[in-house]
Structure 1
Amino acid sequence: MQRRTLLAATLSAPLALPARAQDSWPQRPVSLLVPWAPGGSNDIVARLVAPQLEGRTGQPFVVENRPGGGGSIGMGVAMRARPDGQALLVSSASNHVFHPLISGELGYDVREAFEAMAMWVDVPNVVVVNPAVPARTLPELLDLVRRTRGGMSFGSSGVGSSNHLAGELLRLRTGLDLTHVPYRGGGPVLSDLIAGTIPIGMMNLPTVIPPAEAGRVRILAVCTAERVSLRPDLPTVMEAGVPDYAVRSWTGLFAPKGTPPAILRRGAELSREALTAPQVQSRLRETGSEVIWMDGARTDAFVRDEYARWAPIIRAANVKIE
């Protein structure tokens, strides 16, 4: 199903909730735990949605950044929280799929440790370079890497992030010498990319649009299977000649295992309402993100499908945490 069709179908179907569940949660402030540093795409989306949730409930939804460990530190905080809906996890493909598959040392199964509450948005990944890099297209960049002794390095928001896997898949599909440099979030990657400390960044589109418009970085391609509506001029990595390449990044809302179903349903409905707000949709379009709201059951099935797809790719790319 195309994403726009999915959006129209899901947003037009309200959830049936008991009146008591709708009225009882939340009755206290809610923490939205983001396991990355401020400035990254998950942080941007969380801070955009939080005021909408607050306005609909009368309770504060406070974004708390808990970066480190490829997202595992913030994940651990969320997992250990009481399952009463007062601490929720703003998670992503990086936290729920890539990092667990790579590390194998979390000590728990992410799919079983959290209850899916709702899927929020699809966030495109992009290939970005410092303007001093003599490449204006992705084929030119790949040729430059091929001709550079020792290859070139790319930065990502952390080991096991969707950005990291976007770079590793590019290395796997092209056979080029690309060395990963992990950071603690999209913001720090962007700072070093602008400063010229690293030549290439694999990043989320929302993080790089403002500096790209200011000429401080250059976007070469999107990592999605199809072009994005905000920047239809940008080719996909596959269009640039890299076969069988697509990396999907997303942001969703999860709760600790054991959270009551009524709270999960209420959170899903509140998320749906927040994402339909005109100002939210307008801002998301400006950043290149697309709403792909799903309820908890569909989000859980989606996450499990992503696991099945990426497990063999990660093994083939021999991605490990050093």
Structure 2
Amino acid sequence: MKRRALLAASGLLAPAIMTRSALAQDSWPSRPVTMIVPWAPGGSNDVVARLLSPAFEGRTGQPFLVENRPGGGGAVGMGQAMRARPDGQTLFVSSASNHVFHPLISGEIGYDVRDVFESMAMWVDVPNVVAVNPSLPVHNVQELIAHIRGKRGGMSFGSSGVGSSNHLAGELFRMRTGLDMTHVPYRGGGPVLTDLVAGTIELAFMNLPTVIPPAEAGRVRIIAVCTGQRVSLRPDLPTVAEGGVPDYAVRSWTGLFAPKGTPAPIIQRMANLSKEALETANARARLRDLGSEAIWMDAAATDRFVREEYDRWTPIVRAAGVKIE
């Protein structure tokens, strides 16, 4: 203790600590890293994680393995990631669904998501869309509203799970229009898409990256984007608000998080790796093709952004009356 006090007094201890921190950052990762995606394969979070993982591997020399853990509106994968050791070996690919919507509609989650994860980096902005089976005789929001109003018993809509951004996009649509709509939750964007193409469900709120390929093939029809403004990839698609639904905008996003207590040097390195990966021409081109946009933020900015989103959506979710029974 006397030696430590002397070192601190002489100013030698702080550099020593900084050196150890630098070494911790330089030596990580020394083995494969698991990135948990709390949704089934094929959804936007899964697509983005698999797009960026090769860049992480190329820069670190270690595999970055995407592990899908669907269920409970993302709660299953979120719980597994939260309980993992905070050593940088298990990371969590999260979204508005997991960090904002699901906690707000679940009264029994038992913890505040904002306080059990370390923010690492924001990756992308993911537009939500309104999509229908091509057999449905609607081509825009007004036709969809008229169709639902004229249908006895209303209409069901699919989403990637209870508490997902797509679920809240549908609920906000229901609340703003006063339509009779029933939510049908799935275990990810992939299963929703399968049933939408098959005609098992006729309407779904989905992430644009998931629905672009089948839309281009004519297997589904996108009638509007849920964002506040039109998206650059599909400027021909009107927003839901332009279709006559006032005060309507839903923003989805994908970011990277780690269990609480993960060392700051690891968080900083992963934030830097994310920035480098997102700035590559290949990543930007692929993201544009998928209808997403890179919006990198460092750990501090990501944490502020998530908390602001939580505060903004709290009164909306309460007004909509959305809860997990």
SS at match of 1:243: coil
Residue in 2 that maps onto 1:44: 47
Q: Is 1:126 the counterpart of 2:129 in the alignment?
A: yes
Residue in 2 that maps onto 1:69: 72
CA shift digits 1:166-219 (9 cap, x unpaired)? 000001111111110000000000000011111101000000000000000000
Alignment of 1:74-223 (within 5 A): 74-223=77-226
Q: CA shift at 1:104, angstroms?
A: 2.1
SS at match of 2:149: helix
TM-score by length of 1: 0.94
Alignment of 1:173-322 (within 5 A): 173-322=176-325
Q: RMSD value over aligned CA atoms?
A: 1.1
CA shift digits 1:81-131 (9 cap, x unpaired)? 000000000000000000010012111110000000000000000000000
Q: Is 1:53 the counterpart of 2:24 in the alignment?
A: no
Larger radius of gyration, structure 1 or 2? 2
> Quick one: distance in 1 between partners of 2:145 and 2:25?
53
> Quick one: distance in 1 between partners of 2:272 and 2:30?
16
> Quick one: distance in 2 between partners of 1:51 and 1:100?
31
SS at match of 2:135: coil
Identity %: 75
> Quick one: distance in 1 between partners of 2:142 and 2:30?
54
Residue in 1 that maps onto 2:6: none
- Contact 2:107–2:324, Cα closer than 8 Å, also in 1: no
Corresponding letter in the other structure for 2:189? G
Corresponding letter in the other structure for 2:144? L
Corresponding letter in the other structure for 1:294? M
> Quick one: distance in 2 between partners of 1:287 and 1:128?
16
Corresponding letter in the other structure for 2:64? F
TM-score by length of 2: 0.93
Q: Which runs of 5+ in 2 are unaligned?
A: 1-18
> Quick one: distance in 1 between partners of 2:324 and 2:259?
26
> Quick one: distance in 1 between partners of 2:160 and 2:206?
7
SS at match of 1:62: strand
Alignment of 1:20-35 (within 5 A): 20-35=23-38
Q: CA shift at 1:22, angstroms?
A: 4.3
Q: CA shift at 1:21, angstroms?
A: 4.8
Residue in 2 that maps onto 1:10: none
> Quick one: distance in 2 between partners of 1:185 and 1:42?
10
SS at match of 1:235: coil
**Moved >2 Å (runs of 4+):** 17-22
- Contact 1:21–1:266, Cα closer than 8 Å, also in 2: no
- Contact 2:116–2:259, Cα closer than 8 Å, also in 1: yes
Instruction: Count the aligned residue pairs.
Output: 306
SS at match of 2:254: strand
> Quick one: distance in 1 between partners of 2:140 and 2:243?
8
SS at match of 1:131: coil
> Quick one: distance in 1 between partners of 2:52 and 2:220?
27
CA shift digits 1:39-62 (9 cap, x unpaired)? 000000000010100000000000
